Amino acid sequence: MTEDEARAQWRHIEFNTPEADNPIQVTIHAGRASLTVAYWYTGDRARQTIREALSYLAAIERETGWTTFDPQIGRRLDLRGDFSEVVAAYEVGSKRVEQLAREHSREPES
């Protein structure tokens, strides 16, 4: 791949929160944006993390006119009305990651 081809394929801006903040990453491409959140929290911290993530999505929607689709719940989001459902889906992922980490730590090393 040439440098020009690589630049054409990988033209995006990536925003990451500082270390020890909420685990949110926003990547903006020419015609779309994506937001990812690491599955780290449950409870109050999960709600805080999702509230921050949704504020980023609201700014993106306001500035671009785009809409937000959440693959975890399988539909377009209402950034105000779907807060509880988004938090619940996030907590399911966080609990699953925690469970996998516990299971992995119990496995004997080869």
Number of structural domains (the chain) is: 1
Contacts of 53 (CB under 8 A, 6+ apart): 22, 24, 35, 37
Please give the share of the chain, as a percent, with pLDDT higher than 70: 94
Domain that holds residue 72: 3-106
- Specify which residues 13 forms β-bridges with: 28
Report the predicted TM-score, pTM, of the whole model to 2 decimal places: 0.79
Q: Mind listing the pLDDT tens digit for each residue in 16-29?
A: 777 767 888 898 88
Q: What are phi and psi of 89, to 5 degrees?
A: -65, -40
At residue 76, the pLDDT reads 96
Q: Mind listing the pLDDT tens digit for each residue in 50-78?
A: 999 999 999 999 999 999 999 989 999 99
Q: Is the pLDDT of residue 13 over 80?
A: no
Helix (H) / strand (E) containing 25: strand 24-28
